[in-house]
Amino acid sequence: RCAELQIQLTEAVSTVGGQKELIAKLEHDLSTIQALSAMHRPDAEGAAVPSLEKIPEPIKEATALFYGHTPSPGTSFPEGQVDSLLSIISSQRERFRARNQELEGENRMMQHTVHALQSELDNLRADNIKLYEKIKFLQSYPGRGGSRDDTEQRYSSQYEERLDPFSSFSRKERQRRYLSLSPWDKATLSM
């Protein structure tokens, strides 16, 4: 039992040592990248950088390897440094991609919820107008006069508007024109 624990301890110490080396390497790579971000940028993106010596060497190396150029013979970098930089960038890209997909899923769910609530609201509004129509019909009988409350007054204008053929035509025409717009025009209109 003691020998097993001694072996596990040795393995744990070697694992911790390896992780400390990786952490130090990562911190060095991050400090190199931070030095690049602290550098003064030109006025426009993509403009020529007047002094290329300010760009850290691992970035130059990774860019050269990406475009298929061989690095200059005066600059030699350990292969692990370039690989670690590329792995950092690719893992960050994967995290952003996963977060983007998650947000797009949430966006679709919210849009679905909004559409469902909007259709429910439209149905309730139509039901209320039908109920007002029935109230109006029942009040039209002689001797059935009654007081009008706020609810009746609110739906009476919508009921009268629904009966008006000109406003109905105008609403349908506006809806037809809106549906014929391109998605870019719809977005501009909503803004």
In this prediction, residue 35 has a pLDDT band, given cuts at 50, 70 and 90, of low
Q: Structural domain tally of the chain?
A: 1
Contacts of 44-49 with CB under 8 Å at 24 or more apart are: none
Q: Which amino acid is at 105?
A: G
Percentage of the chain modeled with pLDDT above 70: 70
For residue 132, give its domain range. 84-142
**φ and ψ at residue 178, rounded to 5 degrees:** -65, -40
Alpha helices in 38-78 (DSSP H): 57-67
Please report whether residue 120 resides in a domain.
yes
Q: Is 64 part of a structural domain of the chain? A: no
Domain assignment present for 18: no
Over the Cα atoms of the chain, what is R_g?
A: 35
**Position 182 pLDDT exceeds 70:** yes
Inside any domain, residue 185: no
pLDDT, tens digit (0-9, with 9 covering 90-100), for 146-177: 556 677 777 777 777 777 777 777 888 888 88
39-54 per-residue burial string, b: 16 or more CB within 10 A, e: under 16? eeeeeeeeeeeeeeee
Residue 79 lies in a domain: no
In a domain, 132, yes or no: yes
The answer to whether residue 26 is domain-embedded is no
First vs last C-alpha separation in the chain:
72
* Rounded-to-integer distance, Cα 58 and Cα 166, Å: 71
pLDDT at 41 over 60: no
